[in-house]
Amino acid sequence: MLHENSTLVDVKHEVLYRVAKAAFEGELEQAESRIPYEIVPGPNPVFRCCIYKEREVVRERISLAKNRDPMTGEQCNNTVVILPAACEGCPITRYVVTDNCQKCMVKKCQNSCAFGAISMTKDKAYIDPAKCRECGRCYQACPYNAIADLQRPCKKSCPVDAISMDENMRVRIDNDKCIRCGACIQGCPFGAVSDSSRMTEVIDALLSGKPVYAMVAPAGEGQFGPDISMESLRVGLKEMGFKDMFEVALGADYVADSEAKEWNEAHKEGKKMTTSCCPAFVHMIRRHFPQLAENISTTISPMAATARLIRAIDSEAVCVFIGPCIAKKSEAGQVQHIKGENADLVLTFEEIDAMFKAKDITLKPAEEYAQQGSIYGKNFAKSGGVTKAVLEAVREQNVGEEFKVCTCNGADECKKALMMLRAGRLPEDFIEGMVCEGGCVNGPGSLKTAQKATADRNKLIGKSDARTIEGSVAEYDKYEFEMHRTEE
């Protein structure tokens, strides 16, 4: 049950927890109808205008927790989904004249408007929303910065203009433009945009007795507490029913090793390339810069590399990636891959935390610090970490000279670099693209803010030994698998 000061995070987590608990107990179908009343018993509303709207929001979140579209009940085609009941329609007039207006004699705002939307009242200028076409010329022209640009938060947060409004001012997402980065999820203050979940499918796999392997992203250290290492997570996940856990930092070492060779060959040919680790960055290229698709590294992502290694060890394995990234769900889940190509299912840290709670599992500090990946693989979680790892692999392999890399931190920097590459004006040899500012440590599926998690993470990875990338990969030399894409 929620309390008066419940936040959006509380609502989402409570739904995930109750759905996970019911799924583990094998009674999800029976529980679906009662969960909204358990979370919102009434008679007074907690987080919206009335208990009926609150319960409908909970019902829609239950649908998403089962990977079902709240509108149609069908399987979600997009990772990012609108909750109709939660969307407020935000009746915002984009350009508004503030009290800073001096009603100056030059009237630059009025003269800049090509639609006759601006008039002068007794005290200041006025913008008629019926005539305004939101071109922004008045906003740019005002010498006093007296005109405010009040974009809806979801639309403002989207880096690729994938969000628009219908005739009722409800949000629509253009799936052909969406890069699944989750920025709109973080941007909407009402929780009207959320990610679909395959959590119940993971639980079904665990209950089936299949060999289910967890693959935890490097950003996992620091998410669950200052003393909760990868070994702590391994113990907790095995208690939940996973056969074992692998660090995706190990897959990152494989990626660094492969990309060092690939970058060297590309450099010899005079070809500029981009990384392929961040799925939102890859979506950005394929959907908004399609002419650059051939510049994407053919080396698979650390998630895919880890999954292929696990299947080389156990051919019957079900591979579940656990991390902060929502775009990973589209990389592995929403579009079916050939068996063995990638992870089967993806969970966020939010979802696995709800599953720990549902199984009453408390993570504890491990007696020893065991690791699989190198410190370079672990730092794939940070912006610039991929570049440092690949350059280290180049040094260890002695395959060629060091390269110039454009390290893009956030969507805006990614777009700028891609535009430079498209125009043939990029001075660097390669682009590392991370759509989330700061890297994966700031992913939308995280439990903590990047600032809070990083301090704990730095302490934990500071205990890592000085393993080389070659040394990390060499431990698994007897297993063979393909490190390049075999299907688009």
99: tokens are 């009290």
| Tens digits of residue pLDDT in 80-115 | 999 999 988 787 788 999 999 999 999 999 999 999
- Kindly report the pTM of this predicted structure: 0.91
Is 71-89+154-196 assigned to CATH 3.30.365.10? no
Q: Which residues pair with 196 in a beta bridge?
A: none
Burial 151-179 (b: 16+ CB within 10 A, else e): ebbbbebbbbebbeeeeeeebebeeebbb
Place of tokens 């394929």: 286
Question: What's the pLDDT score for residue 266?
Answer: 92
* Same fold? 71-89+154-196, 95-149: yes
Place of tokens 């004699």: 105
| Tens digits of residue pLDDT in 187-245 | 998 899 999 999 999 999 999 999 999 999 999 999 999 899 999 999 999 999 999 99
Chain-centre distance for alpha carbon 225: 21
pLDDT band at 1 (very low <50, low <70, confident <90, very high): low
Question: What's the pLDDT score for residue 134?
Answer: 86
Is 95-149 assigned to CATH 3.30.70.20? yes
| Tens digits of residue pLDDT in 140-190 | 999 999 999 988 899 999 999 999 887 777 889 999 999 999 999 999 988
**Cα(151)–Cα(135) distance, integer angstroms:** 12
Which residues of 121-191 form beta strands (DSSP E)?
A: 125-127, 147-149, 163-165, 171-173
Query: Residue 468 burial (CB < 10 Å; 0-12/13-18/19+)?
Result: middle
pLDDT band at 6 (very low <50, low <70, confident <90, very high): low
For the chain, give every domain's residue range. 1-66, 71-89+154-196, 95-149, 199-474
**Cα(168)–Cα(170) distance, integer angstroms:** 5
